[in-house]
Structure 1
């Protein structure tokens, strides 16, 4: 039996890092302010029948690794049995060395199941059987898995057409973790998409209002924002290639919307004008309610058209894009700030070449009204690994104030993903601990420990003010 490398001092390379983590970071509650967990699963307090359903289904990080090893799609999204799929994942794990999956896999097995072994094809059946035996116990329900990780608040992500049924049920339940939502109107912005009008029809249905004009669309979205706000929402989220910005008039946006609503296509520049107008409108609405707005920038999605056609979106065919980000983002933020309608904003970057761009951009609009008003969000998606996190932390430290940072989030669909907060905290503490050891920072553990606790918990608690 091979013993796992997940020790008490995993990723901590000196005594300062160890003290910062164990005495200051480890005990902090988790505020997971952006994820894609199912509110239905949380509300229903779902139990999973086996570890494949809990841990592998829907996880495109794992899917990409399995495919890369040359394993058939049958064992990824295909018709193989759950046990077979787990065996193929276990066969893959030893070959993920130096990929964050290797760390996450063993950290999660340890933290949730007390399994201190390296997962391989040899022990896969034993681990599959062992985990399946316990998953029916009360401590492995969705709510229990969340509570086990000391999660104080989590924020799922919903489309404007969502009726928030399960969030309302959770608000009236006795579940101690606060569960809220983020408003994500991406599909309302995608005027160039074939399914745009179909989506607007669904907005009409949920709002019981017609959308014939651009003003109708704004009115309906305002009403949906109000509905979300009444149900405890304080955040929005946008997944964009880049923040659009093009000068436009109300008249031309109204005309091009009417044209598109009638079934005609719009040009690329017309689409950018529409998106600019609608995104400014939405951001002003967020500001009026004191929401936090989030922008996830830079994903190049659905690259493999054959697999998209066969399997659909969000099945592991996305990558890092290389759009120019700075100028349009600056103009957009400046437009809102010029009328003092720029709300608290988090900007997440997917291309590491743009880390310094984002770290410097936030300083242009931190106006002294709120601590850390504009945030350079944590490394996400392809960058939520050790190197990506360190690069984001270093860029923010070098150009901004790391002490004002609101820390980590999972951005995950998995109920076993919360140890990523531990992973981040260990990396953070080691970064500070190394500089304390080599004389780049004072060896004042109490003060540095306070900074660590602020980043892990207190800054986010104050920033979101739930």
Structure 2
């Protein structure tokens, strides 16, 4: 094994990182730190878990597909060939290492060094001078059996992984993982965004309909057949252990609709015609409502990721495709459509357990109060204000979400953190969240704003770190 020459500067990551008070340190070290992880929303590859993939080098596990790092590198003047282009893996890592010192006060700086420390026991700062040693040592370790994908999950004490899957996905990897009784639960999540959002693109929608028909084992020529095929896939996901659905939307669709008009819209688009904006909204509203009814009937939890303005740079999106780092926070109106949607479902007692993730911090209090409108006492924390996500899964974003939830609702019933990541090295984000949570509560105790009741507060942070999610989802 390669051994780093520890002449470089050590990191700032002491055991009390982010823990400013003695109470915070007690809460984290005695209560939060050892709790298992339930990662109820991520974008990890179930095939890589099934195959117990070994990565050849640090770039493959750390930089492939990571648009967070790509955005930082581009901002630092790094050409695209070192992000998504044809540069070698070493060259890409070298450019990332040169960028890292310039990410100070961006969460990437914290995450980078936490991940190097927790996975590889490397406690020196990453920069252009240490890049080669760090790359070689980590790449050598990744070739060892204890650094396979499954062991990376075990190393972080992960208990449940919920991947993100399209209704047309065969779920073969999930089935094989179930058959072999892998010790970590790997469950699918039903994300039917394409089933409704592609309605604006007749060609792409027709292709999707054909794929759905093939996956459901039938033909689709009308709306009722389309819904039947989706419902059969929903039932199949349920049989495979799925307990959550997910939607990534600018805002919830909640226009009035009648089924006859939706039938006509479906036929119009299948015939190759582009729907009007009003027709598009009506179709999406109907689909979102029907999908939510199925979730409630199956006892699932539905998730809504709201507020992303995607693919802003049309030139680069054409060159590289979606999910390559050209998205931002949007300033969409959320309250009225969201309350219409949830109230319509609640009026017939078909509102499933729901998590709403907000991307615009200006809407934190809106969402925090919205969830309280539909918490009916049937389930503790039935409607959840989800953790800060994407651009907000950093210290300030987490603190603002926690404070808004605390002020408007019950932080004690919060189901806590998730990775929302494509990387198997992202699990220290749970540690990051837990440290931030313990620090906020510790500050309140030492400011005289909360009682110094360590057993109760310890239970509180353990519940938010793990117990609430376990009970809420029924894993």
Q: State the TM bucket, normalised to the shorter chain.
A: over 0.9
Report the counterpart of residue 289 of structure 2 in structure 1.
280
Quick check: 1:296–1:348 contact (8 Å CA) kept in 2?
yes
Alignment of 1:211-250 (within 5 A): 211-250=220-259
Equivalent residue in structure 2 for 1:333, among 342, 351, 357: 342
Could you say what the CA RMSD is over the residues aligned between the two structures, in angstroms?
Answer: 0.7
SS in 2 for 1:157: coil
Equivalent residue in structure 1 for 2:32, among 21, 25, 36: 25
SS in 2 for 1:346: strand
SS in 2 for 1:296: strand
Equivalent residue in structure 2 for 1:90, among 93, 97, 107: 97
The alignment status of 1:313 with 2:322, answered yes or no, reads yes
The alignment status of 1:36 with 2:47, answered yes or no, reads no
The alignment status of 1:402 with 2:418, answered yes or no, reads no
Quick check: 1:20–1:429 contact (8 Å CA) kept in 2?
yes
Equivalent residue in structure 1 for 2:381, among 372, 375, 390: 372
Note the C-alpha offset of 1:208: 2.0
Quick check: 2:190–2:237 contact (8 Å CA) kept in 1?
yes
Structure 1 window deviating more from structure 2 (169-178 vs 262-271): it is 169-178
The one-character-per-residue Cα deviations of 1:431-452 (angstroms, maximum 9, x if unpaired) are 0000000001111111111111
Alignment of 1:248-263 (within 5 A): 248-263=257-272
| Whole-angstrom CA distance in 2 between matches of 1:127 and 1:12 | 27
SS in 2 for 1:78: coil
| Whole-angstrom CA distance in 1 between matches of 2:209 and 2:182 | 35
| Whole-angstrom CA distance in 2 between matches of 1:408 and 1:193 | 35
Runs of 4+ in structure 1 deviating by more than 3 angstroms, as ranges, are: none
| Whole-angstrom CA distance in 2 between matches of 1:234 and 1:26 | 26
Report the counterpart of residue 153 of structure 1 in structure 2.
160
Structure 1 window deviating more from structure 2 (8-17 vs 253-262): it is 253-262
**Are residues 270 and 40 of structure 1, via their aligned partners in 2, closer, same or farther at CA, if it must alter by over 3 Å?**
same
Report the counterpart of residue 437 of structure 1 in structure 2.
446
Note the C-alpha offset of 1:175: 2.5
Note the C-alpha offset of 1:174: 4.2
Equivalent residue in structure 2 for 1:11, among 11, 18, 22: 18
The alignment status of 1:45 with 2:52, answered yes or no, reads yes
Report the counterpart of residue 86 of structure 2 in structure 1.
79
Note the C-alpha offset of 1:193: 2.6
| Whole-angstrom CA distance in 2 between matches of 1:294 and 1:350 | 13
SS in 1 for 2:160: strand
The one-character-per-residue Cα deviations of 1:254-295 (angstroms, maximum 9, x if unpaired) are 111111111111111111111111111111111111011000
SS in 2 for 1:179: strand
Report the counterpart of residue 269 of structure 1 in structure 2.
278
Quick check: 1:50–1:131 contact (8 Å CA) kept in 2?
yes
Q: Where in structure 1 are there 5+ consecutive unaligned residues? A: none
* Count, aligned residues: 466
Quick check: 1:31–1:460 contact (8 Å CA) kept in 2?
yes
The one-character-per-residue Cα deviations of 1:376-427 (angstroms, maximum 9, x if unpaired) are 0000000000000000000000000000000000000000000000000000
Quick check: 1:143–1:175 contact (8 Å CA) kept in 2?
no
Quick check: 2:418–2:430 contact (8 Å CA) kept in 1?
yes
SS in 1 for 2:381: coil
| Whole-angstrom CA distance in 2 between matches of 1:448 and 1:162 | 42
| Whole-angstrom CA distance in 1 between matches of 2:418 and 2:34 | 17
Note the C-alpha offset of 1:6: 0.7
Q: TM-score, normalised by structure 2?
A: 0.97
The one-character-per-residue Cα deviations of 1:25-74 (angstroms, maximum 9, x if unpaired) are 00100000000000000000000000000101110000000000001111
| Whole-angstrom CA distance in 1 between matches of 2:267 and 2:139 | 55
Report the counterpart of residue 174 of structure 2 in structure 1.
167
| Whole-angstrom CA distance in 2 between matches of 1:214 and 1:375 | 32
Report the counterpart of residue 130 of structure 1 in structure 2.
137
Report the counterpart of residue 4 of structure 2 in structure 1.
none
The one-character-per-residue Cα deviations of 1:336-364 (angstroms, maximum 9, x if unpaired) are 00000001000000000000000000001
Report the counterpart of residue 109 of structure 2 in structure 1.
102
Equivalent residue in structure 2 for 1:144, among 151, 154, 167: 151
SS in 2 for 1:183: coil
SS in 2 for 1:154: strand
Quick check: 2:201–2:274 contact (8 Å CA) kept in 1?
no
Report the counterpart of residue 303 of structure 2 in structure 1.
294
| Whole-angstrom CA distance in 1 between matches of 2:232 and 2:442 | 49
